[in-house]
């Protein structure tokens, strides 16, 4: 019988010391897809050692890239020798949402691609209508057959596109497609997450012409399909992993320097942490965090950047579970994203959900129990809760955590947590 790995956490010392934040999952996967846009040798550094990088490597290798991952150095060497196979098969697409990010690069550069439609995931259906509508405005045609989207365009042309909602994935696909379109494309109500800015910087270093980077209106002046060149690029630090170490420090009342965390990338969240009584002090190379004796409850609403990201939410709910008072958390991006609340309840948390809202009444202490990780961020939040749950918390389905966290257990252990992978 195969025993799957689990994470065991016991309450222990207050966390102390310093921890390095690795590169961002939500950036590196898109940067890897951007390597489809020019022939030659690319290098990505500050690459996190996470399972999604391996999955994306499998997908891009199937399309025709040659990828070497040096885990010790945190470096990807990617060779694009051309002759790509313009198909993204279901077995790979269904494993990560970011696989849809090959659409813009391949359609823009080669005028054709066949991609399996991404399915839903643990927190609900995730359509791609905004991606397809924007590309249609740029002259693409689509047909959906046998679960695949077939996309065609002789040559995309520039367009003025206004997104209904600042979707991260749609903004990225439209941006990358627009790089090769004839003429100028304007994307209004664009998402402006730091990971999108990172992608824009890489594209510009490859020779793309993009204005308004980091704003809600991005303008792309198209270049010829063979005009881009390969580049070397360092992945932006991961604000969600940073938030995880801040939350872990805060809940234990510890003191930790979260190195490489970029305060400007998480300003709203830092304000909310401050409201909860957590000291978060920007330093020249990170954020110094000092947790309070007792956390205070607050209300939090998730929004696109620069708002409090939905990906932080499970961490916030975990903190509110042991805070003084009642906090209401409102989810505006993914209505179904409260599944993990049942797992926190198993630890003794007092949480009621009502549609988009979670009402969290702080309890004096949580008590350890076996729980299941329902997705990446929720899994990390259960680990954080386990740091202060009496007895032992054992988290199963840790493959979700491994998708997006680079050695969460080792990093927390180095800060003094009583945690192990078993």
- Piece of 75-83, 160-168, 283-291, 313-321 that binds ligand UD1 (CB under 6 A): 160-168
Across the chain, which distance is largest between two alpha carbons, in Å? 63
User: Rule CB under 6 A: which of 299-328 touch ligand UD1?
Assistant: 309-311
Cβ-proximal residues to 139 (8 Å cutoff; 6+ apart), any chain: 153, 154, 155, 156, 157, 159, 181
C-alpha distances in Å from residue 42, one per residue of 35, 74, 76, 162, 360: 7, 14, 8, 32, 47
CB atoms within 10 A of CB 19: 26
DSSP label at residue 216: S
For residue 115, report the phi and psi dihedrals to the nearest 5 degrees: -130, 135
Among residues 116, 170, 187, 266, the one that binds ligand UD1 under rule CB under 6 A: 170
Cα separation of 420 and 111, whole Å? 49
Among residues 11, 26, 371, 373, the one that binds ligand UD1 under rule CB under 6 A: 26
CB atoms within 10 A of CB 236: 24
The nearer residue to ligand UD1, 172 or 343, going by C-beta atoms, is 172
Beta bridge partners of 308: 302
The nearer residue to ligand UD1, 306 or 416, going by C-beta atoms, is 306
Shortest CB 220 distance to ligand UD1, Å = 18
The nearer residue to ligand UD1, 127 or 410, going by C-beta atoms, is 127
The owner of tokens 């994935």 is 169
Q: Does 160 bind ligand UD1 (CB under 6 A)?
A: no
Tell me, yes or no, if 121 is annotated catalytic: yes
User: Rule CB under 6 A: which of 116-145 touch ligand UD1?
Assistant: 126-131
253: left (phi over 0), alpha (psi -120 to 50) or beta: left
Cα separation of 2 and 8, whole Å? 18
The nearer residue to ligand UD1, 115 or 389, going by C-beta atoms, is 115
The nearer residue to ligand UD1, 9 or 116, going by C-beta atoms, is 116
Q: Per-residue contact track with ligand UD1, 329 to 358, x per CB under 6 A?
A: ----xx------------------------
The nearer residue to ligand UD1, 60 or 333, going by C-beta atoms, is 333
Which of 8, 2, 111, 4 lies closest to 369 in space, CA to CA? 8
The nearer residue to ligand UD1, 78 or 170, going by C-beta atoms, is 170
- Piece of 38-46, 163-171, 207-215, 244-252 that binds ligand UD1 (CB under 6 A): 163-171
Shortest CB 129 distance to ligand UD1, Å = 5
Q: Per-residue contact track with ligand UD1, 72 to 111, x per CB under 6 A?
A: -------------------------xx-------------
Cα separation of 320 and 159, whole Å? 45
Shortest CB 269 distance to ligand UD1, Å = 13
- Piece of 61-69, 166-174, 287-295, 390-398 that binds ligand UD1 (CB under 6 A): 166-174
How many residues line the site for ligand UD1 (CB under 6 A)? 21
Q: Per-residue contact track with ligand UD1, 376 to 415, x per CB under 6 A?
A: ----------------------------------------
Which residue in the list 41, 58, 77, 121 is annotated as catalytic?
121
Cβ-proximal residues to 40 (8 Å cutoff; 6+ apart), any chain: 79, 80, 229, 230
Beta bridge partners of 288: 257, 281
Q: In what order do the strands lie in the sheet with 326-330?
A: 300-301, 326-330, 357-361, 350-354
Among residues 108, 111, 169, 277, the one that binds ligand UD1 under rule CB under 6 A: 169
Cα separation of 273 and 189, whole Å? 28
Cα separation of 299 and 275, whole Å? 10
Residues that bind ligand UD1 (CB under 6 A): 26, 29, 97-98, 126-131, 165, 167-170, 191, 309-311, 333-334
Active site (catalytic) residues: 121
């Amino acid at each position: 019988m195969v025993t799957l790995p689990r994470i065991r956490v016991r309450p222990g010392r207050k966390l102390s010391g310093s921890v390095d934040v690795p590169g961002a999952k939500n950036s590196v996967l898109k940067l890897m897809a951007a390597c489809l846009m020019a022939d030659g040798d690319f290098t990505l550094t500050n690459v996190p050692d996470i399972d999604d990088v391996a999955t994306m490597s499998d997908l891009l290798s199937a399309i025709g890239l040659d990828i070497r991952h040096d885990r010790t150095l945190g470096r990807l060497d990617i060779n694009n020798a051309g002759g790509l196979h313009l198909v993204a098969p279901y077995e790979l697409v269904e494993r990560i949402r970011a696989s849809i990010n090959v659409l813009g690069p391949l359609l823009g550069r080669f005028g054709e691609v066949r991609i399996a439609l991404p399915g839903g995931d643990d927190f609900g259906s995730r359509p791609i209508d905004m991606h397809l509508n924007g590309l249609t405005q740029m002259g693409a045609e689509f047909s959906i057959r046998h679960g695949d989207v077939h996309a065609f365009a002789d040559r995309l042309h520039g367009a003025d596109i206004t997104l209904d909602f600042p979707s991260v994935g749609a903004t990225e696909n439209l941006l990358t497609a627009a790089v090769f379109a004839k003429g100028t494309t304007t994307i209004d109500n664009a998402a402006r997450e730091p990971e999108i800015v990172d992608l824009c910087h890489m594209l510009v270093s490859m020779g793309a012409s993009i204005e308004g980077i980091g704003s809600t209106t991005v303008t792309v002046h198209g270049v010829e399909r063979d005009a881009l060149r390969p580049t070397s690029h360092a992945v932006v630090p991961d604000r969600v992993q940073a938030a995880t170490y801040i939350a872990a420090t805060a809940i234990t009342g510890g003191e930790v320097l979260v190195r490489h965390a970029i305060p400007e990338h998480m300003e709203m969240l830092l304000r909310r942490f401050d409201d909860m009584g957590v000291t978060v002090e920007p330093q020249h190379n990170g954020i110094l965090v000092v947790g309070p004796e007792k956390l205070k409850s607050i209300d939090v609403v998730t929004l696109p950047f620069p708002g409090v990201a939905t990906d932080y939410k499970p961490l916030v709910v975990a903190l509110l579970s042991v805070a003084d008072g009642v906090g209401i958390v409102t989810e505006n991006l993914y209505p179904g994203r409260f599944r993990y609340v049942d797992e926190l309840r198993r630890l003794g948390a007092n949480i009621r959900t009502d549609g988009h809202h979670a009402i969290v009444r702080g309890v004096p202490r949580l008590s350890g129990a076996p729980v299941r990780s329902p997705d990446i961020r929720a899994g990390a939040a259960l680990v954080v809760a386990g740091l202060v749950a009496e007895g032992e918390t054992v988290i199963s389905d840790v493959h979700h955590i491994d998708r997006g966290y680079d050695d969460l257990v080792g990093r927390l252990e180095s800060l003094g947590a009583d945690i192990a992978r078993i």
